[in-house]
Structure 1
Amino acid sequence: MAEFDTGWLYEAGIGENRAMLIESGMVRQIRLERPTGSARPGAIVDALFKDQWIAGKSGIIALPGGEEALLQPLPQGLTEGATIRVELTRAALHEHGGQSKRAKARPAGADSELREGPSLREDIAAPGLAWKQVQSHEDDSFAEYGWHDMIEQAESGHIDFDGGSLLISVTPAMTVIDVDGPLAPVELARRAAKEIALTLVRLDIGGNIGVDFPTLQAKAERTAVAAIFDQYMTANCERTAINGFGFMQVIRRKIRPSVVEMVQADKPLSAILQLLRQAERSGGTGELNMIVHPAVAAKCEHQPAWVEELSRRTGRPVSVTPNDIISISAGQIASI
């Protein structure tokens, strides 16, 4: 892949599209797109105003597909049942445990042209960077650049770096990053600051982020650690100073769920999507059998088109065998 030094790699997978930004031969960001039926950020649609959420400030609207969204700010004089043209500013968030947060929208001008929000492929092409679509019959460029390791990091929330580790925990209020390691506090914090800045961009983490560094008594040390974070943070954000307890808050605009949120929200779903990718690239002849945990098999039952698409792409019959002995993430592929 030396000939593709800078730009996006894109893969149209079964049930999931994937993208990876390469800069000077290094991975800077990964993205996932899973068709959910929800409106995408950037869409301009006509919505039905249902009722107020916070009087005079925000309200609930129904989008054309029936999905509800939070409208803010709330135009004066808007009455229940009225139609209003809005722009989607954030996708719906589906959290671990089945909880969801509505999409967010803001009023759009009445003369704004109706449009769909950009797809992942349209989004990565918009800035004008080079991009290349990867096909399953080609070398696995995503794997060559460490895709599987990064997805594992997102699933576990555990990221090792030289001298320490990060633990990423997603909560309804914020994404929390804890720093741990055997080094002296100031050296651990300095190394962690670089890794945290790179990780926020790499795993597409936005919104409200709390970072728990080791406690640093000296203000000069805290200032130096924050400066390292700023040096390696390539995305727009705001942050607080690191306080005496080692806590720093970072705010990034959030328009979609992070890779961490996506892969952790529904682990059986993430497992079958990864296995479908592996199966598509497995090669061989004869019937292709996916041996999976029953919860993963249930995902296939609800999405039979995925199995049909795998059969079409590989030219092989495909079957799914539930096995309650194996774990959710340990699905296997066998040829019959």
Structure 2
Amino acid sequence: MAEWLIEDGIAERRALLVEGERVLAARVVWPGELTAGARCTGRLSAKLKGTRRGLAQLDNGTEALVDHLPPPVTEGQTLDLVITRAPLAERGRLKLAQARVAGADTALPPPSFPVGRSVRRFPAGLWEEVWHAASSASLEFSDGEILVSVTPAMTLIDIDGTGDPRSLALAAVPAIADALAWFDIGGNIGIDFPTLAAKTDRRAVDEALGAALAEWPHERTAMNGFGFVQLVARLEGPSLLHRFATARLGMAARMALRRAELAAEGTGRVLLLTVHPALKPKLKEAWLAELARRTGREVRVESDPGLAIEAAHAQLVEA
């Protein structure tokens, strides 16, 4: 039976939906972030003319777009709000959070972070498998792989591999379903399947995709003559791919701290964490202090330009 497991890491809270030894879905949240379902207050700084939308200055100093404003609301009024979509960092810009006025008749979104069973550590290898797949933005399947790209307009999934187009498209479907849930993807999603000339082949892929995504809430177009399918799903916040695209060093720093915690389960007085030079400034003093507190070890950080940013290494040493 599938269940959500929750791991509270340093500067990161992680969740995996696990069934047996298989990951079905993953979520991440960073401390201090606005998340879908969060309640807050804000002052309406502007009403957009001709619409029921406006801008609100939230208590934390950030702005949010507010939808479905009640007609009596005026600029300068303080509102009780519920976040419907977290802010999204993109290349060169930040998409503001979206919110609605909270009221007795307001349909509130469910919390974006799942409720589950807290564990000290996920089962070995599961988080690493998801993390490395998201870092490379790809998933392999028999005779091929899918490549996933984040753009301002949509998330695009491309299929690469060998074999005839129909077989390749059908073989890619399970990997596509895994990627959508593993990477926590929402919003507009485009899938570029191999071009299939026969309508029967396109129908077969449509049916396979529908079956694979039956439990995933979305809307979907049928495959067109060029092999393109568009999905639309609820977007609540940044996917793992968004985080790697806009904060790769932050993702790598948190993974380095997790590796250090795992390494501390051995013997030795000093916990030595070796990282790429670009990563060292991202390791905040408060994070390192928390690492020392959790492990009961003195923490030392060294840099090695020969390491990849994603390949931090930790070990216990005597001095």
- 1:191 corresponds to 2:171: yes
CA distance in 2, matches of 1:196, 1:184: 18
- 1:174 CA displacement: 0.6
CA distance in 1, matches of 2:112, 2:153: 27
- 1:54 CA displacement: 6.1
- 1:77 CA displacement: 4.2
- Residue identity opposite 1:294 in structure 2: P
CA distance in 2, matches of 1:214, 1:311: 51
The total of aligned residue pairs comes to: 312
Of residues 11, 14, 25 in structure 1, which corresponds to 2:10?
14
- Look up the SS of the partner of 2:268 in the other structure: coil
Within 5 A, what are the aligned runs for 1:260-275? 260-275=241-256
CA distance in 2, matches of 1:151, 1:310: 20
Of residues 77, 80, 84 in structure 1, which corresponds to 2:75?
80
The question of whether the paired residues in 2 share the 8 Å contact of 1:198 and 1:232 is answered with no
Of residues 296, 316, 320 in structure 1, which corresponds to 2:279?
296
The question of whether the paired residues in 2 share the 8 Å contact of 1:61 and 1:70 is answered with yes
- Residue identity opposite 1:135 in structure 2: R
Gaps of 5+ in 2: none
Match of 2:63 in 1: 68
Match of 1:285 in 2: 268
The question of whether the paired residues in 1 share the 8 Å contact of 2:39 and 2:81 is answered with yes
Instruction: From the superposition, tell whether residues 148 and 242 of structure 1 become closer, same or farther in structure 2 (CA, over 3 Å).
Output: same
- 1:215 CA displacement: 0.5
CA distance in 1, matches of 2:204, 2:280: 50
Of residues 185, 191, 194 in structure 2, which corresponds to 1:211?
191
The question of whether the paired residues in 1 share the 8 Å contact of 2:81 and 2:101 is answered with yes
CA distance in 2, matches of 1:269, 1:224: 41
TM-score, structure 1 length as denominator? 0.86
Instruction: From the superposition, tell whether residues 323 and 52 of structure 1 become closer, same or farther in structure 2 (CA, over 3 Å).
Output: farther
CA deviation digits over 1:284-329, x for unaligned, max 9? 21221222222211111xx211100110111111122233343312
Of residues 41, 53, 73 in structure 2, which corresponds to 1:46?
41
CA distance in 1, matches of 2:74, 2:222: 44
Q: Which moved more, 1:37-46 or 1:86-95?
A: 37-46
- Residue identity opposite 1:272 in structure 2: A
CA distance in 2, matches of 1:193, 1:119: 26
- Residue identity opposite 1:178 in structure 2: D
Of residues 134, 137, 143 in structure 2, which corresponds to 1:154?
134
- 1:149 CA displacement: 1.9
- 1:27 CA displacement: 1.6
Match of 2:201 in 1: 221
CA distance in 1, matches of 2:203, 2:196: 10
Match of 1:128 in 2: none
CA distance in 2, matches of 1:68, 1:299: 26
- 1:177 corresponds to 2:157: yes
- Residue identity opposite 1:134 in structure 2: V
The question of whether the paired residues in 2 share the 8 Å contact of 1:20 and 1:142 is answered with no
Match of 1:102 in 2: 96
Runs of 4+ in 1 over 4 A off after TM superposition: none
CA distance in 1, matches of 2:23, 2:180: 13
- Look up the SS of the partner of 1:151 in the other structure: helix
CA RMSD of aligned residues (A): 2.2
The question of whether the paired residues in 1 share the 8 Å contact of 2:36 and 2:112 is answered with no
- Look up the SS of the partner of 2:15 in the other structure: strand
